[in-house]
Amino acid sequence: MELTKYILKRLALLIPVLIGVTIIAFALGVLSPGDPVDQILNPDGSESYTQEEYEQVSERLGLDQPVVVQYLDWLGEILRGDFGRSFFTQKSILDQLRYRIPTTMVLAGLSMLLVTIFGVGSGIIMATHRDSPLDRFLSGLSTVLLSVPGFWIAILLIFLFAEKWKILPTSGVSSFAGFILPAITLALPGTGVCARLTRSTILDELGRQYTVVADSKGLDQRQVVMRHAFINALVPIGTYLGTHLAGIMGGAAVIETIFAIPGIGSYAIAAVQSSDYYVVQAYVMLCGTIYVIANILIDIFYITVNPKIRFGLAVE
Amino acid sequence: MKHMRLRSKIALGILAAILLAGIFAPLLAPYDPYASDLGNVLAQPSAQHWLGTDSIGRDLFSRILYGGRQSILLALVATALSMGIGFLIGLVAGYFGGAVDGVITTISNVFQGLPGLTLMIAIAALMGPGVTSMIVAIVTNSWVGFSRIVRGEVMKIKQESYIDGLKSVGASKARILFMHISPNLLGTTCILFATRVAAVVIAVAALSYLGLGLQPPTPDWGVMISEARAYFRRVPMMVVAPGLCIVALSLSVNILADEMRDRLDVRKDSLKDM
Amino acid sequence: MSIDIEIRSGSVFFDGGDASTYALRDANATFPAHSVTGLIGESGSGKSVLGMSILGLLPNTARIEGSCVYKDRDLYRLSEREMTRIRGSEIALIPQNPSESLNPMLRIGRQLSEAVALRGRGEKPRALERRDSLLERFGFADPRAIDRSYSFQLSGGMNQRVVSALGLMGSPRWVIADEPTKGLDAILRKQVYGVLKEIAENEVEGMIVITHDIALACALCDTIMVLYKGLILEQRSSAELMGSPLHPYTRGLIGSLPSRGMHPICRDLPGRDSHVEGCPFYPRCAVAEKRCSESIPPETPLSPNGFVRCFLNA
């Protein structure tokens, strides 16, 4: 009973967030400069039209309604899966998104994998070899990683691996190899943060009483770290990874553009640059939804790992 | 000052050098960063041009000196604004609690749900690229962090002050709030400020690179990298130099933030994901 | 080969902070096998430091001097790997703060069995058996239920019994019980006393009890050492200590017991500078003389066993 209440409470908190995201996404469309009616009647700026024609199209598009009604209409369409059509290409936005999402998923997934393996892994190494030259080197490296601009590293990496040494493609994802450089570039700052976080969390746990007791049982350092400190450190680390996943879309968009990867991020940026607002709206919606889903995953993770939530505080 | 680690001292030195170079660029730069010399494009480093010239003959060294000015100022102003707004909102949320807090927390979550670059790009698209849109974008993204810290602190004080509150009457609750603000809050806020500025500098550079932030012909590191992209093979310096400057700035700020964090020695979770 | 634990000139200080301060100074203590020795003192007296130094469980910032000999080896000089082999199986800890000493994320059963199960293949079934039988010995009617539980699901008293079982899992020769009755009410204290007495009589060959509970120490221990600010001030058999305490501090401690009238020991007396070279108790000693502030009193041996550090008892 406690558990269900907890889950429901968490879900209840996320729904307003989702609604807020839709409002902002819609607002972006409304606030955007340019007049969609004018765009339709006069796409290249050379035709003129009458007030009547204007009002006709206006009505057809539903733009004469009050804003709130427009919002609800739009919301209804979204929920039905109708994201409208891109101004630019007149193609269905939903189709484009469906076509491009897997690419972005692979990119994001690969990058998350790198962050987890190298971030957590190096964090553990640093914590177990505290203050050794290895620790100092890795700590410094982690700090550098989160201070480096991704787009700049991308240029350097492309030059090295693609142009000079020719082992990876310069752009596009015709093969899986095309995902490697972008995923690495996307993963760099996250790895730095994750490594530092893992290190400090594990060290914190190693200062607690129960690790001293674990020592006293005759466990060696590796066992104390992996069986005790790390398990407890999983909670903040997992929460961070979840938050990172939630926010990965923004960085992915830039990386996709730089590496010319046909994902939803590059689609959105191109749309921004050509003032294609329906696409931007859809993209913002999608990002918000991913954020909410990622948060749900964090909560599930938290529930699974932390026994206090599952068992409450039952006594005796 | 004496107890600072070597690397923090170096970081401080580098940061000071960057800031001074930026402030005194008009005095230090040998050339006008906008002045082009089409007879001398893409030159290698020489006695006249210490770092060479770019694709339309502008002196790279002068442009590098000027390169941080706009982004650093932008980052400082935007982050300060975020801090101010975040502080107020956090204060309100923490002080009033209850429904007000609930609403504010939900709104915070919404803003966090539109993470970083995505929102910045969208806002830049909305308002047209430029300084104003970038400030709006940065503030929208960054205020949440500050407001969370302040809110937490105010709620902590409120708990304590309820105990004191038996003695005091009404109006002086506000006084108690201010009197009990821990020095921790100041330190935590400073650290967040520093790490945000470092991150914002990079974000501004990224936006400028994409053409959504500062525009050419502004001598800005991010813009310079975008202009230099095509010429990388011929004159790698054009890309490497501004990039290194960004790294130097961001890295030195992060190292100093680490130093502050160690001094503070606070075991708060909030610090760990800065 | 003797299995006594003998500390000679043991000193511990911590670096970092303002100045290095000695948590333990020039400790000479013999813990004979087949007996229970108590270390009593206030917070900061160094009793925990002494106990933990035997097991090598002091924080990284601790620097140890002197020697601690057990089975012809100096524990202070052993490597971490060698200490790992001794901990749990030869000398074990019953830690203080049971709720803090158990990992809240792991089930209790696992924390108990891992002390033994990880020693090698084939150890696991034996570990599980020992675990459940120990839990029964400590009054748990349903050991399986406890195995499945988490520490936050049990009461303080139950956790205390769990960590007592934990210390015994490896069948050690020696057990160090750290503050076993801290924060417990009178009923639980009595329970813990019973458990420790059982352990001392039937399970181990030697026990060290670290406590500020004088009554517990006197009831449980054969010998008692009194510590104050890092120095061992007096070491006597418990009967002698209760009956005729020598050191002014000890007399103050005994006098402050409810059964003796609860006379408090005074705070620093006026005019007594606490940062002097002499006896650490000088600032609070009603009968101190001038020489007490000038140098630390040496150990004065007493017959048949024991010693006292006090100029007035030399």
- The 3-state secondary structure of A167-187, one letter per residue: CCCCCCCCCCHHHHHHHHHHH
pLDDT digit string, tens, across residues B219-246? 889 888 888 888 887 888 888 989 999 9
Q: Name every residue whose Cβ is closer than 8 Å to that of residue B132 and which is 6 or more positions away in sequence.
A: none
Distance CA A206, CA A212 (A): 8
Q: Are A179 and A173 in contact (CB under 8 A)?
A: yes
Question: In chain A, where do the E strands start and end?
Answer: none
Q: Are A182 and A260 in contact (CB under 8 A)?
A: no
Query: Is the CB of A307 less than 8 angstroms away from the CB of C104?
Result: yes
Alpha-helical runs (H) found in C77-155: 80-86, 98-101, 108-117, 123-137, 143-148
pLDDT digit string, tens, across residues A144-190? 999 999 889 988 888 888 777 777 777 777 778 888 889 999 999 99
Q: Within an 8 Å CB–CB cutoff, is residue C101 touching chain A?
A: yes
Paired strand residues for A270? none
A116/A68: higher pLDDT: A116
Mean pLDDT across B125-148: 82
Q: Do chains C and A touch (3 or more CB pairs under 8 A)?
A: yes
Mean pLDDT across C136-147: 87
- Chain B partners (3+ C-beta pairs within 8 A): A
Mean pLDDT across A136-149: 93
- Chain C partners (3+ C-beta pairs within 8 A): A
pLDDT digit string, tens, across residues C152-204? 888 888 888 899 889 988 889 999 999 988 877 888 888 888 888 888 888 88
Rounded to a whole number of angstroms, the distance between the first and last alpha carbons of chain C is 34
Q: Which of C239, C147, C161, C240 is nearest to C194 (CA)?
A: C161
Q: Are B94 and B158 in contact (CB under 8 A)?
A: yes
pLDDT digit string, tens, across residues B68-80? 888 899 999 999 9
Of A144, A152, A155, the CB nearest to B246: A152
Q: Name every residue whose Cβ is closer than 8 Å to that of residue C275 and which is 6 or more positions away in sequence.
A: none
pLDDT digit string, tens, across residues C104-115? 989 999 999 888
Q: Is residue A10 part of a domain?
A: no
Distance CA C172, CA C175 (A): 7
What pLDDT sits at residue B226?
Answer: 87
Mean pLDDT across B34-57: 80
pLDDT band at B214 (very low <50, low <70, confident <90, very high): confident
What's chain B's average pLDDT? Answer: 80
Residues of A in contact with B238 (CB under 8 A): none
Domain enclosing residue A134, as ranges: 100-315
Q: Within an 8 Å CB–CB cutoff, is residue A222 touching chain C?
A: no
| pLDDT of residue A125 exceeding 90 | yes
In a mutational test of the B interface, the residue from A152, A193, A257, A275 whose CB has the highest number of chain B CBs within 10 Å is A152
Residues of A in contact with C85 (CB under 8 A): 218
Of the given ranges (A139-143, A277-281, B262-266, C279-283), which has the lowest mean pLDDT? B262-266
Q: Measure in Å the smallest separation between the Cα of C148 and chain A Cα atoms.
A: 11
**Number of Cβ pairs closer than 8 Å across A and B?**
147
What pLDDT sits at residue A316?
Answer: 33
- The 3-state secondary structure of A41-75, one letter per residue: HCCCCCCCCCHHHHHHHHHHHCCCCCHHHHHHHHH
Of A151, A250, A272, the CB nearest to B125: A272
Q: Are B110 and A21 in contact (CB under 8 A)?
A: yes
Distance CA B242, CA A299 (A): 42
Mean pLDDT across A16-43: 73
Task: Read off the tokens for B267.
Answer: 């075991």
Query: Is the CB of A316 less than 8 angstroms away from the CB of C154?
Result: yes
Q: Is residue A154 part of a domain?
A: yes
What single-letter amino acid sits at A225? V
Residues of A in contact with C81 (CB under 8 A): 220
What pLDDT sits at residue B179?
Answer: 66
Paired strand residues for C211? C40
Residue B217, preceding peptide bond in cis (omega within 30° of 0): yes
In a mutational test of the B interface, the residue from A10, A144, A151, A188 whose CB has the highest number of chain B CBs within 10 Å is A151
What pLDDT sits at residue B113?
Answer: 66
| pLDDT of residue A299 exceeding 60 | yes
Distance CA B224, CA B242 (A): 7
Q: Within an 8 Å CB–CB cutoff, is residue A223 touching chain C?
A: yes
What pLDDT sits at residue B169?
Answer: 58
Q: Are C95 and C178 in contact (CB under 8 A)?
A: yes
Of C101, C115, C155, the CB nearest to A218: C115
Of C101, C103, C118, the CB nearest to A232: C103
Q: Within an 8 Å CB–CB cutoff, is residue B167 touching chain A?
A: no
Q: Is residue A222 part of a domain?
A: yes
Of the given ranges (B173-177, B193-197, C131-135), which has the lowest mean pLDDT? B173-177
Residues of C in contact with A212 (CB under 8 A): 57, 95, 101
Q: Within an 8 Å CB–CB cutoff, is residue A212 touching chain C?
A: yes
Q: Is residue A261 part of a domain?
A: yes
What pLDDT sits at residue B171?
Answer: 54
Q: Are B255 and A192 in contact (CB under 8 A)?
A: no
Residues of C in contact with A223 (CB under 8 A): 114, 118
Q: Measure in Å the smallest separation between the Cα of A282 and chain B Cα atoms.
A: 11
Sheet holding C223-228, edge to edge: C91-94, C174-178, C206-211, C36-40, C223-228, C231-237, C307-308, C300-301
| pLDDT of residue C230 exceeding 80 | yes
Task: Read off the tokens for C20.
Answer: 């290095």
Query: Is the CB of C86 less than 8 angstroms away from the CB of A218?
Result: yes
Task: Read off the tokens for B184.
Answer: 């921790």
What's chain C's average pLDDT? Answer: 86
Q: Please, which residues 103-132 of chain B have a Cβ atom closer than 8 Å to chain A? A: 106-107, 109-110, 112-122, 124-126, 128
Q: Which of B216, B220, B246 is nearest to B56 (CA)?
A: B216
What pLDDT sits at residue A304?
Answer: 83
What pLDDT sits at residue B182?
Answer: 66
pLDDT band at B266 (very low <50, low <70, confident <90, very high): very low
Number of separate domains in chain A? 1
Q: Within an 8 Å CB–CB cutoff, is residue B182 touching chain A?
A: no
Rounded to 5 degrees, what angle do the CA atoms B259, B261, B264 make?
A: 110
Query: Is the CB of C85 less than 8 angstroms away from the CB of A311?
Result: no
Task: Read off the tokens for B242.
Answer: 């501004």
Mean pLDDT across C44-64: 89
pLDDT band at B26 (very low <50, low <70, confident <90, very high): confident
Q: Which of B70, B66, B76, B7 is nearest to B241 (CA)?
A: B66
Q: Please, which residues 133-192 of chain A have a Cβ atom closer than 8 Å to chain B? A: 140, 143-144, 146-152, 155-156, 159, 163
What pLDDT sits at residue B174?
Answer: 63
Of C85, C87, C105, the CB nearest to A216: C87
Task: State the residue for tokens 């209804």.
Answer: A76
What pLDDT sits at residue A312?
Answer: 61
Chain A residue at shortest CA distance from C79:
A220
pLDDT band at B271 (very low <50, low <70, confident <90, very high): very low
CATH code, domain with A170: 1.10.3720.10
Residues of A in contact with B191 (CB under 8 A): none
Q: Is residue A24 part of a domain?
A: no
| pLDDT of residue B272 exceeding 50 | no
CA A269 to mean position of chain CA atoms? 15
Look at phi and psi of residue A90 and say left if phi exceeds 0, alpha if psi is from -120 to 50, else beta. left
What single-letter amino acid sits at A58? S
Query: Is the CB of B247 less than 8 angstroms away from the CB of A146?
Result: no
Q: Are A217 and C169 in contact (CB under 8 A)?
A: yes
Distance CA C252, CA A19 (A): 70
What pLDDT sits at residue B274?
Answer: 33
Q: Within an 8 Å CB–CB cutoff, is residue A97 touching chain B?
A: no
Q: Within an 8 Å CB–CB cutoff, is residue A21 touching chain B?
A: yes
Q: Is residue A3 part of a domain?
A: no
Q: Within an 8 Å CB–CB cutoff, is residue B270 touching chain A?
A: no
Q: Measure in Å the smallest separation between the Cα of A316 and chain B Cα atoms.
A: 31
pLDDT band at C67 (very low <50, low <70, confident <90, very high): very high
Q: Is residue A52 part of a domain?
A: no
What pLDDT sits at residue B12?
Answer: 92
| pLDDT of residue B181 exceeding 60 | yes
Mean pLDDT across A114-129: 94
Distance CA C115, CA A172 (A): 54
Taking the CA atoms of B100, B101, B106 and B112 in sequence, report the sign of the dihedral they define.
Answer: positive
Q: Tell me, what DSSP letter sits at residue A260?
A: T
Q: Are C204 and C233 in contact (CB under 8 A)?
A: no
Q: Which of A225, A212, A226 is nearest to C87 (CA)?
A: A212
Query: For residues C160-197, b (16+ Cβ closer than 10 Å) or e, as one string?
Result: bbbbbbbbbbbebbbbbbbbbbbebeeebbebbbebbe
Q: How many CB atoms lie within 10 A of CB B123?
A: 24
Q: Is residue A67 part of a domain?
A: no
Q: Measure in Å the smallest separation between the Cα of C258 and chain A Cα atoms.
A: 32
Q: pTM for the whole thing?
A: 0.84
pLDDT band at B273 (very low <50, low <70, confident <90, very high): very low
Sheet holding C62-70, edge to edge: C21-31, C5-14, C62-70, C73-74
Q: Within an 8 Å CB–CB cutoff, is residue B194 touching chain A?
A: no
